[in-house]
């Protein structure tokens, strides 16, 4: 079996006395779409942030494409990488946040181009044509010169997806990308994510959109209280869950 794109083994994370992740194991294969479901406070967002070392885990380890995230191993000990090396690792991982996090003083086109220009030091003549193609891909080619404040929430989130793709990442993480949107705007963002899934992009999506999980996911993970209680194909986890907590959660959201 080929090496997984994402490999979490025995991951623990606490904030003070609050234990948020309690021994999480998770593997995601290249090209796979994994949807993470669970109630608020179950550790889903912390899980995502641990994958690209925005949160340092207390125990266990995280690897992306075979590379240990945030650390290097010397003998039997782990040593944290320097910040520049952690930033280099993050350039291979796109992250789409709940709240868009666009730069308000930059145009849409400049928002998409910013990371390859600053983090990857790629030339403008190479970056801007790619940024325009990505805006076209998410249906916003006509908004290249607009500023974020001139866009709807759904449009801003589509720009955020284009920005994440501008780094040509191995993996894209989505942290509840539709939860801040009005209901009528959710569909346009999910359509872009469906297109990414069809193109073979490796994705981990934290969401409450069970319909999206059923339609697009290769694997569904259910988390509660810092634990992965269940993982499997959508038909198994959503239609025939084995764990009572999963059944209780789904009965309220379906």
Lowest mean pLDDT of 44-58, 74-88, 157-171, name the range: 74-88
Percent of the chain with pLDDT over 70: 99
Q: Does 121 map to a domain?
A: yes
pLDDT at residue 181 tops 80: yes
Q: What is the pLDDT of residue 2?
A: 65
- For residue 250, the surrounding DSSP H or E stretch is helix 244-253
- For residue 172, the surrounding DSSP H or E stretch is strand 171-175
- Section 148-172 average pLDDT: 96
Tokens of 15: 């904030």
* Domain span at 101: 93-168
Q: Does 51 map to a domain?
A: no
- Section 62-74 average pLDDT: 94
Q: Does 147 map to a domain?
A: yes
pLDDT at residue 178 tops 90: yes
Q: Does 141 map to a domain?
A: yes
Buried b (16+ CB within 10 A) or exposed e, 195-210: ebbeeebbbbbbbebb
Contact in structure between 33 and 216 (CB atoms under 8 Å): yes
Angle at 78 between CA 15 and CA 205, to 5 degrees: 50
Q: What is the pLDDT of residue 120?
A: 86
Q: Does 98 map to a domain?
A: yes
Q: What is the pLDDT of residue 126?
A: 95
- The total number of structural domains in the chain stands at 1
- Section 227-243 average pLDDT: 96
Angle at 95 between CA 4 and CA 60, to 5 degrees: 45
pLDDT at residue 219 tops 60: yes
Q: How far apart are alpha carbons 109 and 127 in whole angstroms?
A: 10
Q: Does 112 map to a domain?
A: yes
Indicate the average pLDDT of the chain: 94
Q: Does 250 map to a domain?
A: no
Q: Does 6 map to a domain?
A: no
Cα–Cα distances in angstroms (integers) from residue 194 to residues 19, 81, 198, 201, in the given order: 34, 35, 6, 10
pLDDT at residue 1 tops 60: no
Q: How far apart are alpha carbons 31 and 198 in whole angstroms?
A: 9
Q: Tokens 């084995």 correspond to what residue?
A: 242
Lowest mean pLDDT of 2-6, 113-117, 157-161, name the range: 2-6
pLDDT at residue 3 tops 80: no
Contact in structure between 202 and 216 (CB atoms under 8 Å): no
């Amino acid at each position: 079996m080929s090496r997984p794109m994402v490999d979490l083994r025995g991951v623990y994370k606490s904030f003070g006395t609050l234990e948020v992740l309690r021994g999480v194991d998770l593997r995601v294969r290249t090209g796979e779409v994994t949807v993470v479901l669970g109630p608020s406070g179950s550790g889903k967002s912390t899980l995502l942030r641990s994958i690209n070392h925005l949160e340092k885990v207390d125990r266990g380890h995280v690897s992306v494409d075979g590379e240990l995230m945030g650390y290097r191993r010397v003998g039997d000990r782990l040593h944290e990488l320097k910040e520049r090396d952690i930033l280099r690792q993050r350039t291979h991982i796109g992250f789409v946040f709940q709240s868009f996090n666009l730069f308000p003083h930059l145009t849409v086109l400049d928002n998409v181009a910013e990371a390859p220009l600053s983090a990857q030091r790629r030339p403008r003549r190479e970056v801007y044509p790619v940024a325009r193609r990505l805006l076209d891909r998410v249906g916003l080619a006509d908004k290249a010169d607009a500023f974020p404040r001139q866009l709807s929430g759904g449009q801003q989130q589509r720009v955020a997806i284009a920005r994440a793709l501008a780094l040509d990442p191995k993996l894209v993480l989505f942290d509840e990308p539709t939860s801040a949107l009005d209901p009528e705007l959710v569909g346009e963002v999910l359509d872009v994510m469906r297109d990414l899934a069809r193109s073979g992009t490796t994705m981990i999506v934290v969401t409450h959109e069970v319909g999206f999980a059923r339609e697009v996911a290769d694997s569904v993970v259910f988390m509660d209280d810092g634990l992965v209680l269940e993982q499997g194909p959508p038909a198994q986890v959503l239609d025939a869950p084995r764990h009572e907590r999963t059944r209780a959660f789904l009965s309220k959201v379906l």
